[in-house]
Amino acid sequence: MVTTSSPTPASAAAATSAAPTERMSGAHAIVRTLEDLGTDLVFGIPGGAVLPLYDALHGSTKLRHVLTRHEQGAGHAAEGYAQASGKVGVCIATSGPGATNLVTALADANLDSVPIVAITGQVGSNLLGTDAFQEADIRGVTMPITKHNYIVTDPAEIPSAISAAFHLASTGRPGPVLVDIPKDVQNGFLDYHFPETLDLQGYKPVTKPHHRQVAQAVDLMAHAEKPVLYVGGGVMKANASQELLEFAELTNIPVVTTLMALGSFPDSHPLHLGMPGMHGTVPAVAAMQRADLIIAIGARFDDRVTGDTSTFAPNAKVIHADIDPAEIGKIREVAVPIVGDAQKCLTALSKEYRKKDVQPAADVKQWHDYLRGMQERFPRGYEPTDDGLLNPQFVLEKLSETVGPEAIYCAGVGQHQMWSAQFLDFEHPRSWINSGGAGTMGYAVPAALGAKAARPDKEVWAIDGDGCFQMTNQELTTAALEGFPFKVAVINNGNLGMVRQWQTLFYDRHYSHTKLREENAFTPDFVRLAEALGCEAIRVTCEEDVVPAIKRAQAINDKPVVIDFIVGQDAQVWPMIGGGASNEEIQYARGLRPLFDEAESAAETPAEIDETIQEA
């Protein structure tokens, strides 16, 4: 989180404008400010404390409001909108439970650095602190999970407060900002003018990297024999995919992309090793573990990537470039820190690399040969099911082949999320939207709603598990009524799949409260449920029907489509590193642990590996 000196609406109100003023209510000023900021769409639900704002929205010709069925859905839809478009997403809720229903989405946006602004109504100023009807201290509740938040106490502060919220949400390290506005402030009057400048004391994020650190970083690269580019979601937030591609090709350094960075570097590129971490590819994990230099760009060394930090990349020096100085050195000691915007950092590194005419170390070819060998010996794959039901990985492979990389894919959280990350092919930025840091179940459907609202020209697929789908499927009604015809692929194994996998591997198969339905029963029946919510629905139970169902869904563009894929309950996500374990303990498949040492690994041929898998 970017720390500031707590800019307030009062300080932001020091902004000035030469534009003529117009007398209006605070509620109308909220709408006008959003319009002047270029906002075209907001998600929300009305309630008593925001009725003045909703009355003002009724007269807007520039601002479309999407009525969601739950405030959490509004928050995730704002996230999906922001992730797909690169713009600030906006959600609105009333006071009390309306505002607290936004908390999960705000926490999610905070951990994944998503720029959203939440506008909440509040009880009248004279009732604050009296436990009035639907009063909640939403500022206090959300202070730890927002980049910043305000309560506006004067109608005259509204234009500057909303403008400051957008600026804070979208600059530096992006994140959620909440603006709480009491009902009497919405009803009050002001002379409106849009602020041309903002005075946010103490908030000056560093975006341009220091040349000395850039030069030191390039010097380290010049002597590295086993370098790897560790790319995080910050590259996506900075719109730096092209700069990343140019830098990787200039330096010929292998690339790993985290869960939040998928699509920032083409999967098909020969330098790409895949995703590192708990369910990453063996080559990506091996690259991190055996590297002598890690160049981290917009990544935060989170625990799902590092595993046991004491054994993570033991021989690697680290260059860490990030917009947020608080992340640098927080988890891993850094040899060269670079504070700055990822796009500017990559541009500066490329410029310095060319200037110094760096020649790669003599042993770099051996490094590339080693990693290519790992890719050949440990390709992506999966074990066949033994219950006659669909294999979930097969479904996602066929979805990727049929739909292609031009679509936007939104995933919930769990096994289906990891299989999607492994088996979908990502070639473009902003084509993959998911909940990374918070791991929020119920994310996919409302996020897909927001993504489709942001990019109506794109084919949008929500990929959900049956557990996640039951949390937020009500937003399909929103999509049906508002005209957002995205598609949903439900990977239905009748269980909380990832929890069941852990119970299988670490809890002696004690399947405590993870079964969601009885075998061969459809309770709830997702086909009938989807139809009741205004969608077209299809159920698929055999391999030959997978591609025809996907194509049928693609042909329907006047309503959302739900495909209920019935898959085996015992399919598991591999590779896997147990929680808190060393990355050295990665298992490629059940019972098979790759040996990273070149001498030991050379004895294992692909045929021998296949035989070991079958025995396991």
What is the 8-class DSSP label of residue 172? S
- 511: burial class by Cβ within 10 Å (0-12, 13-18, 19+)? middle
- Nearest 5°: the CA angle 164, 166, 167 is 65
3-state secondary structure of 410: strand
Q: How far is CA 497 from the centre of its chain?
A: 21
Q: Kindly name the residue from 147, 183, 317, 452 that is annotated as catalytic.
A: 183
Dist. CA 180–CA 177, nearest whole Å: 10
Number of residues that make up the chain = 616
How much helix, strand and coil, in percent to the nearest 5, is found in the chain? Answer: 40, 15, 40
Is 522 among the catalytic positions?
A: no
Interior/surface letters 83-111, b for 16+ CB within 10 angstroms, e for the rest: bbbbbbbbbbbbbbebbbbbbbbbbbbbb
Is 498 among the catalytic positions?
A: yes
Instruction: Rounding to the nearest 10 degrees, give the CA dihedral for residues 19, 23, 24, 29.
Output: 20
Nearest residue to 232 via CA among 286, 299, 277, 168:
299
**513 — phi, psi (to 5°)?**
60, 45
Alpha-helical (H) ranges within 171-316 are: 183-187, 211-223, 233-237, 241-251, 282-290, 303-306
Q: Which residues pair with 337 in a beta bridge?
A: 320
Query: Residue 270, Cβ neighbours under 10 Å: how many?
Result: 12
Q: Which residue has the tokens 């040349």?
A: 211
**Termini Cα distance of the chain:** 44
Q: Kindly name the residue from 1, 134, 216, 246 that is annotated as catalytic.
A: 134
Query: Residue 579, Cβ neighbours under 10 Å: how many?
Result: 12
As given in the structure block, the two tokens for residue 93 are: 């809720």
Dist. CA 494–CA 232, nearest whole Å: 33
Is 71 among the catalytic positions?
A: yes
Hey, what amino acid is at 224? A
Is 133 among the catalytic positions?
A: yes
600 membership: H or E segment, kind and range: helix 598-601
As given in the structure block, the two tokens for residue 404 are: 């292609």
Dist. CA 122–CA 532, nearest whole Å: 35
Q: Kindly name the residue from 237, 498, 569, 587 that is annotated as catalytic.
A: 498
Q: Kindly name the residue from 24, 43, 71, 415 that is annotated as catalytic.
A: 71
Dist. CA 453–CA 91, nearest whole Å: 13
3-state secondary structure of 463: strand
**236 — phi, psi (to 5°)?**
-65, -45
Is 531 among the catalytic positions?
A: no
Active-site residue numbers?
Answer: 71, 133-134, 183, 498
